Amino acid sequence: MNSVTEDTTITPRPPAVKINTISFGDIRAALAGGWRDFLKAPLIGLFFGGIYAAGGIAIFLLLTVYHEPWWIIPIAVGFPLIGPFVAVGLYETSRRIEAGQPLNFGQILMVIFAQRKRQVAWMAFVVLFIFWMWLYEVRMLLAIFLGFKSFSSVDAFVNVVTTTPEGMGFLAVGTGVGAVISYILFCTTVVGIPLLLDRELDLITGIIYSFKAVFQNLAPMISFGIIVVALTFVAFVPMFLGLLVVLPVLGHATWHLYKAVVAPER
């Protein structure tokens, strides 16, 4: 009688992620930590911030100088795809500062490159999907309120949306819907991306814990999101150059916020 040997090996499940309850003081501490990390590694921060600043300047020039708006979509689509990887570079820098490890730029880039085979790569496509939702929402509202009117310039578009009832309706509804989409994106990524970098978890699990972290700490986390939006808009003003500093500071701050929200792994 042949004996059948069964493989009884059980793949160990990753330990559960414990979400801490934080306060507004933790938000202040995270922002202060982000600023400290930027000062400790300014060239690295300026490099990653420069990626977004360059993209913003390129879009502005294509709109106002070269009048080639068809290039804007490819550039805009690229940012959601590379955004998580840029964030990984800033998170890894903060992780190394925290651990007292050398800030070797080549090694940081290797960590970013390694994410193409991990769950962060899938997170990039999730971010891109949410971005496409935003684009379709804008196009739909343009059709509803402005009837796909053609505008000769950016100034003409701004004039219509700020001086006509239809334009004001477009702004009001678009802002509301955009806020909802931004909230979904924030809940998905604020803890999700650093968690996927820090631990071997699948994408869905990372997103679930990210939402849980926001829901469990709704007021402090929403305040952090508002600060991110406000500082980003301020950074746009000086020809996007503010992103050189604001983006890396917020990236480092997000890592410190993650470390406060997620309990250390046992």
What's the whole-number mean pLDDT along residues 227-247?
88
The CA distance from 195 to 198, in Å, is 5
> Are 170 and 141 within 8 A, CB to CB?
yes
Instruction: Please provide the size of the chain in residues.
Output: 266
Q: Give per-residue pLDDT as tens, 42-99.
A: 999 999 999 888 888 887 787 777 665 555 655 665 666 678 889 999 999 999 999 9
Q: Which residues, in sequence order, are CB contacts of 162 under 8 Å at separation 6+?
A: 168, 171
The alpha carbons of the chain give a radius of gyration, in whole angstroms, of: 21
In 41-164, alpha helices (H): 42-64, 72-99, 105-114, 119-141, 154-163
User: With bands split at pLDDT 50, 70 and 90, how would you rate the model's confidence at 240?
Assistant: confident
Report angle CA 126, 234, 197 to the nearest 5 degrees.
35
pLDDT of 132 above 50: yes
pLDDT of 7 above 60: no
The CA distance from 237 to 117, in Å, is 37
Of the candidates 90, 12, 13, the one whose C-alpha atom is nearest the C-alpha of residue 49 is 90
Q: C-alpha distances in angstroms, 50 versus 43, 197, 241?
A: 10, 22, 8
DSSP 144: I
In one-letter notation, the amino acid at residue 172 is A
Q: What is the pLDDT of residue 74?
A: 57
pTM, whole model, 2 decimals? 0.85
Which has more pLDDT, 173 or 253? 253
